[in-house]
Chains A and B, each alone.
Chain A
Amino acid sequence: MTAYVFRGVRPYGEAAVDIVVVDGVITELAAPGTGVGEVIEADGLIALPGFVDLHTHLREPGREDAETIESGSQAAALGGYTCVHAMANTDPVADTAGVVEQVWRIGREVGLVDVRPVGAVTVNLDGRALAEIGAMAGSAAAVTVFSDDGRCVHDALLMRRALEYVKAFGGVVAQHAQEPRLTENAQMNEGVLSGRLGMVGWPAVAEEAIIARDVLLAEHVDSRLHACHVSTAGSVEVIRWAKSRGVDVTAEVTPHHLILTEDLVETYDPVYKVNPPLRRTEDVLALRAALADGTIDALATDHAPHPHEHKDCEWGAAAMGMLGLQTAFSVVMETMVEPGLLDWRGVADRMSVQPARIGGVATQGQPIAVGSIANIVVIDPDAHWTVVPAALASKSSNTPYAERTFPGVVVHTMHAGRPTVIGGALA
């Protein structure tokens, strides 16, 4: 029998207790100081269900120089995550049962978080023929989320078929909404600034038009749609409208779209190059409001490691994407908790409960309560930390927050009853 006690911790910021974990399960919420087991000091800190990321690029197989399942799992644990969904745009693409099983198996061997592979919707992400969705769903990895992320399933007929087909497995299609013709060679948000900087624009309508089409398709075939990395105020309006019609649509927003705006592109520093691009202040505020009121269901990092040379170059040559796992909670703290948009139960909902539900991961997102599987993050809301890119666990260092000081520190993480992070360091 293995027993741990989180001593004096406050679940959801509420009354202090000892959380007793025995053999991977929460067995008791005892009076402070009374729990029995190996003590993990957490006096006055806040306990939440372990975070679940719907959108992580672990880069393995194929780009192990940028990230591996192991290094990405470490970054996730340090960020308070107990489960990540590994996106399919690896090399080879995760479009067969073999690849998703490999990713799932390595994730299990590393053992720091649940690694849930996302399967490709189309073969090689080419947008032409459906991948073997059934085989991936029926594999040991039991895939339920399918996405061509990085590319949009832009063919309306193929999207319709994918939405229909996943119904047989209780799956969901997670769409990267980007109309390809409207975004050829696009570099940044299209607006006054892109015109002045002479950059090819990525117009908001290219995202909104696809989301509008897809919610109507999902309604028509009575299936589930998930909108990845929603980035514009207009997309929020479309999703709000669809939900009011009863369409089974969910949506995620990234931390960087909650805190960064397009004016950073003026530096021409490719660390700010990301897809979808950074948008206007109005968009950022609309996204925060939508995450607060539940129109956007979940936070998802879109953690996208890239090797140094793909960012240490001119803008046009640079890769799109930024790290997110280790800074996600702090961004939520600064943009949502401190301004009063989300309380601690709200944070638990958007970072754990909803993503677990959307991803179909029954073992995750369980409440801090007796009988729950012990996936737990303990955070110190009063502490601050400064981001040092080279000190992050990721094999890459393309964080847009270098030298930035954030509120909120992840102190301990427990995955399925086993401490993965203690005192802010890997256990």
Chain B
Amino acid sequence: MRHLLSAGDLDRDAALLILDTAAEMAALSDRSVKKLPTLRGRTVVNLFFEDSTRTRISFELAAKRLSADVINFAAKGSSVSKGESLKDTALTLEAMGADAVVIRHWDSGAPYRLAHADWIGGSVVNAGDGTHEHPTQALLDAYTMRRHLRDGTGALEGVRVGIVGDILHSRVARSNVLLLQTLGAEVTLVAPPTLLPIGIEQWPCDVSYDIDAVLPNVDAVMMLRVQAERMQDAYFPTAREYSRLYGLDGERMRLLPEHAIVMHPGPMNRGMEISAEVADSARAVMVEQVANGVSVRMAVLYLLLGGAKELGE
């Protein structure tokens, strides 16, 4: 594996290798010195065209724990017509000897373009592209589910996952559907019809407009961030109505089976898609998701940048 662009690029063995490697990396963070020398002398660039402090910090920490040199390149711009082009930025990074580029971009497919347009030679990691994919988020979600469900045995076959919210604009949902299908889980997407893409009936998952019917039958429910501004494009009438029909509050949470967990990729809109009671409850694993994100990203960088060989030795 040279790049990680889509969760759909991972077959079952590749996905499990990353998740198992992440577990080994997690053991490291329990030690007093949380660092491996594996990527010493390698350079990882965090190329963020979109603000995302939490994802950027997670990748930065992951790379540093592997002893890589990390450069944060905030190529922020409000419009594609302003500032330096992706190509020129890529050529610059290539000239500086970047071994891996972690890219967050507002345009769907930008990481794929970066990996295939012959601009750079290093590895490309998709840290979220437009409304397309966010594969490391799906990996950390799967990692979190493995630890919590099925007594921590790691088997996700047959696990039922509900993903609720703005599916249309969600790269998290797309990557999760692909990865969870590969791992044998059963996904149900829940949203108002306006926030589901055309053609969703052909996705490898179920779809429902009724959160109350879905919650009693899932092992994990993932609440997606919904921007209140969406109502200006008539996706829903008001934030209040959205919250009433699709938000997860304490009463709805009690529809979940006893063992079910509540997930959220963050940042949360408390009071919109999730109530404070739920967010602060014992079922909520959001803080753990963040910690797991570092382990998973360590595993991805480690495997992409040639650590696999050492791992096998």
Give A contacts to B, CB under 8 Å: 187, 190-201, 203, 267-269, 309, 312-317
Contacts and interface: CB of A to CB of B under 8 A. Distances in A.
Interface of B: 80-81, 85-87, 105-110, 112-114, 116-117, 129-133, 171, 174, 197-200, 202-203
Contact of B109 (A195, A197, A312): A197
A315 B198 contact: no
15 contacts: A195-B197, A196-B203, A198-B108, A198-B109, A198-B129, A199-B108, A199-B132, A200-B131, A268-B110, A268-B112, A313-B86, A314-B107, A314-B113, A315-B108, A316-B106
Which 8 interchain pairs have the tightest Cβ spacing? A198-B132, A195-B197, A192-B199, A316-B107, A268-B109, A317-B80, A198-B131, A198-B108
Contacts of B117: 312
Nearest to A203: B198
B108 A316 contact: yes
Given A316-B80, A316-B130, A317-B85, 14 more contacts: A192-B199, A194-B199, A195-B197, A195-B199, A195-B200, A197-B108, A197-B109, A198-B108, A199-B109, A203-B198, A269-B113, A309-B85, A313-B87, A317-B81
Contacts of B107: 314-317
Q: Give the most central of A193, A268, A316: most B CB within 10 Å.
A: A268
B202 to A, nearest CB: 5
Contacts of B114: 314
A83 B202 CA distance: 46
Contacts of A267: 116
B98 to A, nearest CB: 18
Nearest to A195: B197
Contact of A195 (B86, B106, B110, B198): B198
Given A197-B132, A309-B85, A314 B109 contact: yes
A425 to B, nearest CB: 32
B171 A315 contact: no
B86 A192 contact: no
Nearest to A190: B198
A198 to B, nearest CB: 3
Contacts of A193: 199
Given A196-B174, A198-B129, A313 B197 contact: no
B109 A315 contact: yes
A198 B133 contact: yes
A198 B113 contact: no
A269 B114 CA distance: 11
B142 to A, nearest CB: 20
A67 B132 CA distance: 34
Nearest to B132: A198
Nearest to B130: A198
Given A196-B174, A198-B129, A312 B87 contact: yes
A267 B109 CA distance: 9
A96 B108 CA distance: 40
Contacts of B86: 313-314, 317
Nearest to B173: A198
A200 B130 CA distance: 10
A316 B129 CA distance: 11
Contacts of B85: 309, 313, 317
A5 to B, nearest CB: 50
